Amino acid sequence: MSPPSKEHRMNSQEDSENLPQIISTTHKSLLTILQNARTRNILPTPDTLSRAVQSLPSHLPPHGQGLSQTTEHLLHDIAPAVSSSSLSSRYFGFVTGGTTPAARLADYLVTTLDECLAVRIPADTIATDVENRALTMLAELLHLNQTNPDGSAVWTGFFTPGSSTSNLYGIACGREHVLRVREAPLSGSVGIRAACEAAGLPEIQILCSMGHPSIMKAASLTGLGRSAVKQMGLPSRPWHLDVRRVQHEIQRTDCASIVSVSLGEVNTGKVGITADELKQLRQLCDRYQAWLHIDAAFGVFINALPDNSEFQSLKEIAQYICLGDSITGDGHKLLNVPFDCGFFYIRDSTRLKDIFSIPKPDFPRFAIPPVYFLGGPANPTDVGIQNGRRFRALPVYASLTAYGRSGYEDMLVRQTRLARGIAAYVWDHPVYELLPRLPGIEKKDEVLQTIFILILFRAVNPSLNESLLVRINETGKMYAQGVVWEGQKAVRCAIANWAVDVKDDLAIVTEVLGSVAAKWEAGEKMRSRL
């Protein structure tokens, strides 16, 4: 960036006059990016990154560059150096999804309007009504629209900054539940130590199987401590919850339990429980006053797949998500709305109020606006950690309205079929090994039935496996992520983008994997002749 030649004010007449041209230039640039999404490099080249880094100012400028020059800097220096992780249908790294056209349009409005959803003021803005309607439609999509005998909804939903925050909510609600059922005062009022002493609990434990790292963070943030998280996976399938061990732990009288079930382990995508085990777990939690949290950041979307034999093995488990006390989901994964957006559903929303709301007796001690006294649904700030909340519900509302159930069914079917197509190719190829090994499941078709959107594999040859990820990603045609599985390197592919084209993308992926294998085999032959 060149040095500024004059002072630039935020409310300058020059910027106002130039705004139409700036918006037009930005529009053309964005349109080019979107139209070239399938052919755009997934990662920027090293030279592009280097130039972009060099363009960054080393210090805060005493006088700004102005809107026009800053726009040029953003479009020509910064944008080309950002990855296409959410634009490309073949970015298979983190489960980041993308942004549907409807959600993208809505997000433009969100930024322009910049509405804050801290409190519910229906006479002033429609924002919280839109949020509540989006949560209702989302619950319908995910089959979480059960009703109580009085006609009220079983589940109350909330939007969060992401699934990590939703898991924090789930563990925090579990903490309050196990204390309150033992007639302890609110830990939010008296502190976790005093509440545990009143409940006669020296310990609250979290039982899981290869739980997401955010469960550890939640344990730390809620005062339970990371040591409270205990892995209860089966030795042969560490992602799968050992319900017998859980039963042994959950009936202990010297501690209370929060059980966290992973509906989609982060490396393999495998569901960590069977339908019968989940039913049994619900009974155990009821009997021993435990809290059952379902971490289904992407697995909850299995419920939106069509009801047919192709997806039966996945859906027969996912349909019982509703047995949990709380459920975590991620919008910026398979809902394909912009970062950051998670969601959280809970049976008893008073648990959230116990944690986040300010009791009325404390109102005189704080600057509490009168809108806190409104009736109707809870103020967002009373059931969540944020006061300043982005209108993240609008992209969700727009995408659900634009595409409906059938649109999301179609997207999820394409994603699942691509994942299974890649897995089938890996299974058949002698150079590769599909992971994980599933005890008792030997046939290819049976293995493929367990796959949703994640594929894990490695090269059979240790030498090739060591460099496999680099060989795949350096083609520039796809991007995969490296993990460690059973002490060895492995490659993970997460199929999450709305723009997936099964035929085209599968052809490109298999061409990449085939060429990597062929080049390695050719190199091995040459080395053997030397």
Confidence of residue 123 (pLDDT cuts 50, 70, 90): confident
For residue 379, the 8-state DSSP code is: P
Walk me through the domains of the chain, giving residue ranges and CATH numbers.
14-80 (no CATH), 153-359 (3.40.640.10), 409-529 (3.90.1150.10)
Residue-wise pLDDT for 232-256, tens only, equals 999 999 999 999 999 999 999 999 9
**Whether the predicted pLDDT of 476 surpasses 70:** yes
Write down the pLDDT at residue 373: 47
Contact (CB, 8 A) for 55 and 6: no
**Whether the predicted pLDDT of 401 surpasses 90:** yes
With a CB cutoff of 8 Å and minimum separation 6, the contacts of 256 are 178, 179, 182, 199, 201, 203, 204, 205, 289, 290
In angstroms, rounded to a whole number, what is the distance separating the alpha carbons of residues 393 and 388? 14
In angstroms, rounded to a whole number, what is the distance separating the alpha carbons of residues 257 and 290? 5
Q: Which comes out higher in pLDDT, residue 117 or 465?
A: 465
Residue-wise pLDDT for 186-231, tens only, equals 998 899 999 999 999 999 999 999 999 999 999 999 999 999 999 9
Write down the pLDDT at residue 518: 95
In angstroms, rounded to a whole number, what is the distance separating the alpha carbons of residues 286 and 132? 30
Contact (CB, 8 A) for 266 and 298: no
Contact (CB, 8 A) for 146 and 155: yes
In angstroms, rounded to a whole number, what is the distance separating the alpha carbons of residues 424 and 168? 37
In angstroms, rounded to a whole number, what is the distance separating the alpha carbons of residues 405 and 426? 32
**Whether the predicted pLDDT of 470 surpasses 60:** yes
Q: What are phi and psi of 432, to 5 degrees?
A: -115, 160
**Whether the predicted pLDDT of 52 surpasses 50:** yes
Model-level pTM? Answer: 0.93
For residue 233, the 8-state DSSP code is: B
Q: Which comes out higher in pLDDT, residue 1 or 89?
A: 89
Write down the pLDDT at residue 364: 60
In angstroms, rounded to a whole number, what is the distance separating the alpha carbons of residues 104 and 498? 12
- How many CA atoms, within 13 angstroms, populate the side-chain half-sphere of residue 487? 0
State how beta strands 256-262 and 204-208 pair. Answer: parallel
Locate 339 and state its tokens. Answer: 């970062």
Percent of the chain with pLDDT over 70: 95
Write down the pLDDT at residue 206: 98
Confidence of residue 122 (pLDDT cuts 50, 70, 90): confident
Give the mean pLDDT of the chain: 92
